[in-house]
Amino acid sequence: MSKLGFVGLGIMGTPMAGHLIKAGHELFLFSQSPVPKALTEAGGLACGNGKEVAQLADMVFLMVPDTPDVRSALFDGNGIAEGLSPGKIVVDMSSISPIETKEFAKRINDLGCQYLDAPVSGGEVGAKNAALSIMVGGSEATFQYVKPIFELMGKNITLVGQNGDGQTAKVANQIIVALTIEAVGEALLFAAKAGADPAKVRAALLGGFASSKILEVHGERMINRTFNPGFRIELHQKDLNLALSTARTLGVSLPNTATAQELFNACAAHGGKAWDHSAMVRALETLANFEIGQQPVQG
């Protein structure tokens, strides 16, 4: 049994922390919102701040929304850094800037501690089912030491490279996911407007080269109009902002990523920042003046 800390207990963090408690680890918990009762009833100990978590735990995991949140959790007054002592490990599982991750890692390393960036893919369902994909940046030795803990939360666990490389992999993942949602939305909208049954078109496509997890899961959401999150549009906007800002720094053009971001922006402008990201299709439907599931007007 290890002494573990977990900071950030939202939609993703709560089930992830729950798996660690279920596996028998001693868990010290802190979140800006109240620590969920289910975790304390299962044996987790609520702490007053990140410093207290870091003092009590040998390994501290973070799962918070954005780069400023990680910076604050680590380095603000009563933050995690203040409670660290040499030899401890910090594992950031948030999705944040690869560039700033390298800075955070250096500051933690300077305290005599190890740092892994380990963002995840798989959403709320993956978190609840302990089936997340985990993309890790850091040293091989630290990765191997932490890997048994990762295996309690995920299935596809990959050491991508050094600090920052895990976050780079996550940004790449989010580019692919956004562009695939857009492609699936266009295809099903096209099929529906042409008069075909979009559910049957989706079923046919699932058996061919166009098949994907996005077509399987989010294609069904688009057809059934189930846009409760899931993974909120505002969070995917954040990830694409990271992609586009980092691309500018690198001198790389990401034209289709920019288009996907504008479609998310259109959804947000219509009150949809908390919709599931599959609801990007609503922006396409607005442009077409037609919704999947409508009967096309015969001309």
Task: Give the residue numbers annotated as catalytic, written as ranges.
Answer: 170
Nearest CA among 226, 237, 229 for reference residue 264:
237
For 72-138, the DSSP string reads HHHHSTT-HHHH--TT-EEEE-S---HHHHHHHHHHHHTTT-EEEE--EESHHHHHHTT-EEEEEES
**Cβ(223)–Cβ(188) below 8 Å:** yes
- Beta-carbon contacts of residue 247 (< 8 Å; ≥ 6 apart): 253, 254, 257
Helix axis angle for 280-288 and 165-193, nearest 10°, is: 40
The span from the CA of 218 to the CA of 281, in Å, is 10
Nearest CA among 114, 18, 69 for reference residue 6:
18
**Cis omega (within 30 of 0) on the bond before 43?**
no
> Which helix (H) or strand (E) covers residue 260, if one does?
helix 255-269
DSSP annotation of 231 reads S
15: its two tokens:
């089930």
168: its two tokens:
């780079």
